[in-house]
Structure 1
Amino acid sequence: MSEINLQDWLGKTESLADRVYPTPAKALARTLDNADFEPSEGRPLPELWYWLYFLPMAAASQIDGDGHPKRGGFLPPVALERRMWAGSRIRFHDDLLIGEAITKDAEIIKIAEKAGKTGSMVFVTVKHQVKSARGVAVTEEQDIVYLAKPTAFNPPPPTALPAAVAWREAYPVDPVLLFRFSALTFNAHKIHYDRRYAADEEKYPGLVVHGPLQALLLLESAKRHHPGQKPASYTFRGMRPMFDFDRISLCGQPKADQSCDLYTANGGDAIGMQATVSWRE
């Protein structure tokens, strides 16, 4: 059998269609303990909540041992066992409205094979454009990283939270929150709900808090501290895994250019995710 050239997947595209149905938005609001949000027809969908749509609908027979869809479809069949969403760069151009038809065009724009301290890594960058009838609403470049399966828990060295932040909100996480978010995003990766798999197969000390969940919580926190403002762009990247036993805080620090640096931190003030939001003028 000839060796697979991952670069053959560069430029591959797919297009998906969906509708901004109200039920997933209401379910996420309740999952986040927001009892007041009612997704009425024509109401703007909160930013990032488009992750509730265009879900990966792989048949049960096409699911791999880690819970992800088997490889070799749209994404390249990288041989490394562990895969995760490392971060994104997002621009918000227009609102998405509850009830409207939407489409998403995705393209693989970069595949990079690297050698890190823990071994080989492959980064796959996918560009997404989410559109309504009015045009492009969201552009997102999403980085997916593939790593070798570890033999022991070996996290990166902790990066400390800045000494002074403008706000810090405690946000309790537990297995129920992780399960509900997994269900809403149709993410069956076992590290988020199967404690035995997380420990035995991927060597984590607990259930892993989703990177997208942390990113979403940070943006919602920033919006609470900037009422009436809408984000123009948002970037985030995972620094260190967070677990269901961590005492997680959502932290923010405004910058001179009117953007905000955002962080999730555990009880020891180690950063889990780092993000930046800029606001529309």
Structure 2
Amino acid sequence: MQDNHSRSHTQTDNFDIARAHALQATLGHPADLRTGDPMPPFFHHIYFWQPQPPAALGRDGHPAKGDFIPDLGLPRRMWAAGKLVFHCQLLAGVKADRSSVIDSVTRKQGRSGPLAFVTVRHDIKQRGTLALTEIQELVYREDGARATAPQAPTNETDAQTVTFDSTLLFRYSALTFNGHRIHYDERYAREVEGYDGLVVHGPLLAHLLMGFAAAKLGALSQFSYRATAPLMHHETATLCWRDGQAWVRGPQGRQCMIATAA
């Protein structure tokens, strides 16, 4: 069942260069971006904050549903998928405008119970020119619902091992102003949402895959990804690449994310 929602809002951000340097350092890269430099893909994710006071937050640390995101009666939220179309490169330290609209709200019955998908479209402009179109798909589900993880391919032509820890997850949460407690409150993640530890951000995995793809292809024209299973902060994962396809393989061959790049 699909609901019709026409909610929209706009924001402006100055793309503060210091915040970009903090992300470079968090990812283990030299903090060398200068004002006017093209930003690496997905760096815009640390901008356009929407801070809310504590009273306006839900139990998970996210802003309570019912304002921009509708309340669908399902408590658990995850970032399910995304698509980015790079019209031109975004520039560090240059003011940007973002318009956002909810494209659709869809309810489904999955194998693990009822699901609701919210699709949000963002258009980001700099100096009056459309630079990036991003589609985000969020999924909401019941407490205790768990899906079976698929097995990842093993036919990659290039691979890179990545590790995580609670410090990295905390710093990425801070830079993206993501209050979701599954990324920094291990007791909440285990006892309330039923995970085996802190959950690595879906956008962080997508960010790493985008960087991996850009190293192969140069400047990207588009990138699409879908999260297929959670990865915990104590787990080692492998970024994999083959012919424009990328994926994250976790322990026991668990597929955590799939992506296509061009």
Q: Which bracket does the TM-score occupy, shorter chain normalised?
A: over 0.9
Matches within 5 A, 1:123-272: 123-150=117-144, 155-226=146-217, 229-254=218-243, 260-272=244-256
In the alignment, which residue of structure 1 is the partner of 2:15? 20
TM-score by length of 2: 0.96
1:11 CA displacement: 1.5
- What is the CA–CA distance in structure 2 between the aligned matches of 1:166 and 1:119, rounded to whole Å? 37
Over the residues paired in the alignment, what is the CA RMSD in angstroms?
Answer: 1.5
Are the equivalent residues in 2 in contact too, given 1:22–1:40 (CA < 8 A)? Answer: yes
Q: Number of paired residues?
A: 262
Q: Equivalents in 2 of 1:122, 1:156: separation in Å?
A: 14
Q: Is the 8 A contact 1:103 1:131 kept in 2?
A: yes
Number of the residue aligned with 2:64: 70
Deviation at 1:135, TM superposition (A): 1.0
Q: What SS is found at the alignment partner of 1:83? A: strand
Quote the Cα distance in structure 1 between the aligned partners of 2:146 and 2:155.
Answer: 25
Check conservation: 1:83, 1:144, Cα contact below 8 A.
yes
1:38 matched residue in structure 2:
32
Q: Aligned partner of 1:143: which letter?
A: E
1:277 corresponds to 2:261 = yes
Matches of 2:260 and 2:45, distance apart in 1: 19
- CA distance in 1 between counterparts of 2:103 and 2:149 reads 31
Decide whether the 8 Å contact of 1:155 with 1:241 is kept in 2: no
Ranges in structure 1 where 5+ consecutive residues have no aligned partner: 1-5, 255-259
Counterpart secondary structure, 1:272:
strand
1:219-277 Cα offsets, whole Å, 9 max, x none, are 11122234xx21000000100110012111111111xxxxx111111132211011111
Q: Which amino acid in structure 1 is aligned with residue 147 of structure 2?
A: P
1:155/1:240 contact within 8 Å kept = no
Out of 7, 32, 53, the position equivalent to 2:3 is 7
CA drift of 1:158 comes to 2.9
CA distance in 1, matches of 2:151, 2:78: 23
The structural deviation recorded for 1:33 is: 0.6
Aligned to 2:98: 104
Q: How far did residue 117 of structure 1 move?
A: 1.1
The aligned residue for residue 113 of structure 2 is: 119
Map of 1:52 onto structure 2:
46
Q: Which runs of 4+ in 1 moved over 3 A?
A: none
Provide Cα deviations, 1:108-134, integer angstroms capped at 9, x if missing partner: 111111111111111111111011114
TM, length-normalised to structure 1: 0.90
**Which sections of structure 2, spanning at least 5 residues, go unmatched?**
none
- What is the alpha-carbon distance in structure 1 between the residues aligned to residue 124 and residue 86 of structure 2? 10
Query: Quick check: 2:87–2:131 contact (8 Å CA) kept in 1?
Result: yes
1:22 is aligned with what amino acid? I
